[in-house]
A and B are shown apart, each in its own frame.
Chain A
Amino acid sequence: MPMLTSEIVPGLVAGGASCRMDADVAPKFKPGDRVTTININPLGHTRLPRYVRGKTGTVARDHGVFAFPDTSVSGVHSDPQHVYSVRFEGEELWGQDANARSCLYIDMFDRYLEPA
């Protein structure tokens, strides 16, 4: 691949490198669905943080189809799937020590979710 030069910089910065993938993949979930995150503990790269594993929340939005980081770490954008904004109540994550009237919105890949 060509070396990055000053001339190329502005276009590269303004264009970016979106991880969206143009793949016709059906979503497993839709806004309003109750979902539970899977309990995985991989040695490799994942974007499912520990504090959100095995938790139940509600799908708020479907962001569309993106490459899956857990496999893209192999070097190629792969495994296109829907990414959802999922809402978890504070108590669900932190129990009685949660802040009052607090919640989390986090982006969950299709592969991280099961129906609740």
Chain B
Amino acid sequence: MAHDHHNAPPSDTAMRVKALETLLTEKGLVDPAAIDTLIDLYQTKIGPRNGAKVVARAWTDPDYRARLLEDGTKAIAEFGFTGVQGEDMVVVENTEDVHNLVVCTLCSCYPWPTLGLPPIWYKSAPYRARAVSDPRGVIAEFGVDLPEDVEVRVWDSNAELRYLVLPRRPAGTDDMDEDQLAELVSRDAMIGTALVEAPAS
């Protein structure tokens, strides 16, 4: 699918979308300004830095961690990360013995309030197909070295529950505060396709 460049004419798809939005606006069914607001809201406010804050809190506050694992929706709501595609949250923890991987084989379900909108790879056919049948292969493809004796749990988000992985806190981070810890946490670590690394000293 060719990408638009500044000097190239808009693609057929771009024109189709414009036609649809224009038609619906003319019929009084859509306000384009609302779409502008939505795009801006997601681009500026809703992303994986939200989930990273939740993870950093869980690492530093054992009571919060317990609440988070017991009722993810309620604990995440303490940060205000609520709403669309995050109404019913379940947080699953990585341990010495268990590694978790999240997928939606049927479409692209993903916890938007904590991770933002999913990357193309998460929504792609190869990930959706193989995450359930060859999770170790997928994790290795992402460059993660997972020992054979660690159990891999794949979570297929086929209903309306949305899943967030609580990654393991890396060694050598005892002196870091919550903000510093949050910076270490990548989006992929909260999906299960990465581990959190301590910063190089």
Taking Cβ atoms with an 8 Å cutoff, the residues of A that contact B are: 3-6, 8-10, 12-20, 47-49, 51-52, 63, 66, 69, 83, 85, 93-94, 97-107, 109
- A94 and B133 contact, CB distance less than 8 A: yes
* 8 A Cβ contacts from B58-98 to A: 80, 82-88, 90
Q: Does B136 reach chain A (CB closer than 8 Å)? A: yes
Which residues of A lie under 8 Å from residue B82 when comparing CB positions?
A: 14-16
Given known A6-B36, A101-B149, A102-B135, contact A47–B106 (CB-CB < 8 A): yes
Given contacts A6-B37, A107-B159, contact A101 B154 (CB under 8 A): no
Q: Out of A12, A18, A47, which one reaches B88, CB within 8 Å?
A: A18
**Contact at B136–A99, with CB atoms within 8 Å?**
yes
Tell me if B31 counts as interface (CB < 8 A to partner A). yes
B148 touches A105 (CB 8 A): no
**A99–B134 touching, CB < 8 Å:** yes
Secondary structure of the B contact surface, majority rule: loop
Q: Do the beta carbons of A6 and B33 come within 8 Å of each other?
A: yes
Please name all residues of chain A whose beta carbon is closer than 8 Å to the beta carbon of B161 when the two chains form the complex: 63, 83, 85, 107
A67 vs B94: C-alpha distance when bound (angstroms): 30
Tell me whether B156 is interfacial, beta carbon within 8 Å. yes
Chain B residue at minimal CB-CB distance from A45: B106
A35 to chain B, nearest CB (A): 15
Query: B88 contacts A20, CB within 8 Å?
Result: yes
